[in-house]
Amino acid sequence: MNSIETHRNAENSTGNGSANGHNGLAGHLERPHASGGTHDSDAPDLICLSHLRWDFVYQRPQHLLTRCAQKRRVFFVEEPIFGDGPVSVDVSRRDCGVWIVVPHLPHGMGHEQIEAAQQGLLDFVMEQYGIHDYVAWYYTPMALGFTRHLKPAATIYDCMDELSAFHGAPPALREREAELFQRADLVFTGGHSLYEAKKGQHRSVHAFPSSIDMGHFAQARQWQNDPADQADIPHPRVGFFGVIDERMDIELLAGIADARPDWHLVMIGPVVKIDPATLPQRENIHFIGGKHYNELPGYLAGWDLAMLPFARNESTRYISPTKTPEYLAAGKPVVSTSIRDVISPYGTMGMVEIADTPEEFVTAAETAMANGKGIEWLRRIDTFLENDSWDNTWERMNRLIRFAVKTNRPATTGNGTQQISLPSQRAHSATNGVTSQTH
């Protein structure tokens, strides 16, 4: 992160907490000229509206927007942090080139005040950084409450989950999503089952399932040194990394640990939205916290098997776990519960074992670990994954975005008149042209 900062005082903060008028915006803004990188002069900036924090877990948004930032400025707008200070905004640039925008709001504000303050802060940032030509990229439809006034070159909805099915989802989420479908030029989905659920709601829906940073996770095949907090955990080790929340099948974890007390379950990731006290406490279950993305291959290298112990409920109905290809790229056998986007293609192609009960899971894991995974299996995995890189996924997305921007901009003909091409009204499937997948 760059250290150059400018400061604005809060002496004229408005009484209702609104940031309109750009008064009282105490915060930290890294200078715009510190962006660096090689940007495409014709590419509009990108403003991402997210419900996720950039520094929380490295996942789909980080993979895509880091690549996007190689050619254009990317501003990642997070949800507000509430505290005792005045209305303010922090803007800082990560080493990957993405600018992180964090609103700070005082406790006690009403819903309308919050959205008015967010709108004012966003307008302020856009003015300070000269953001005039831009694409709006949404991860949360709730952001419409403070962005309806924007006039983007194109609007993208990257629907990575069925957010309305998650614990604590805002009641207005479904209504806001329907509105976003009306405004969006493109809708991307994080998996095939989610595509099937959304394809009838918009004219241009495209499936982009979880992709893979192959070189990064393939390091696990050669890794030698066990991380200190895993080194003393006995083998066999059955591991998981990811967010530990209401999607986790807690009873399954307990059942596996009880059925095979000689196995050790290594659980990596933050615990969110559930009470940690509800997690099974066993001598052979090890919750070792969240790890940096760069550390994950080192932990994977020391596992005998990787698992996806997801519950089967509304919050997991449409998930497409990014960790499935990551586990496979690391060369590990994998056992998963019956998640639709894991069954197809990974289960049907014999790359992942599917099991739902503790008894089934133990049997599948025993078979996978006993048989081992030889050179031919690894070659088959590598062949399957070679075209599913995040680089390829972003390039396919970017082609669609460029077309949407071009379509929305009036084209000038030879006689100086404007010609507008209307976008196709046909829904796009995952097998359609540039969005085709390898599986």
pLDDT band at 4 (very low <50, low <70, confident <90, very high): very low
Secondary-structure class of domain 214-385 per CATH? alpha beta
Q: What is the mean pLDDT of residues 160-175?
A: 80
Strands 285-287 and 353-354: unpaired
Residue 178 corresponds to which tokens in the numbers above?
């329907």
Cα–Cα dist 257/269, whole Å:
18
pLDDT of residue 12: 33
Band of the pLDDT at 172, cuts 50, 70, 90? confident
146: tokens are 């403070």
Closest by CA position to 25, among listed 119, 148, 100, 109: 119
What would the two tokens of residue 44 be?
Answer: 């509009």
Using 50, 70 and 90 to split pLDDT, how confident is the model at 145? Answer: very high
Would you state the pLDDT for residue 28? 74
Q: Which of 208, 135, 195 is CA-nearest to residue 394?
A: 208
- Greater model confidence, 234 or 20: 234
Match 């050179």 to its residue by tokens: 375
- Name the percent of the chain lying above pLDDT 90: 73
Residue 15: helix, strand or coil by DSSP? coil
Q: Where are the alpha helices (DSSP H) in 184-249?
A: 192-198, 214-218, 228-231
Instruction: Give the pLDDT confidence score for residue 110 in this predicted structure.
Output: 94
135: tokens are 């694409």
Question: Is residue 291 within 8 Å of 241, Cβ to Cβ?
Answer: yes
Q: Is the model more confident about 293 or about 25? A: 293
Q: What's residue 425's pLDDT?
A: 35
The first and second tokens of residue 412, run together, are 């000038």
The Cα 153–Cα 135 span in angstroms is 5
Give me the sign of the Cα torsion angle 49, 191, 386, 225: positive
Over residues 203-248, the pLDDT tens digits come to 999 999 989 999 999 999 998 899 999 999 999 999 999 999 999 9
CATH 3.40.50.2000 occupies which residues in the chain? Answer: 214-385
Please state, in angstroms and rounded to a whole number, the distance separating the CA atoms of residues 205 and 211.
Answer: 18
**Beta-carbon neighbour count of residue 299 at 10 Å?**
22
Report whether pLDDT(258) > 80: yes
9 or 290: which leads in pLDDT: 290
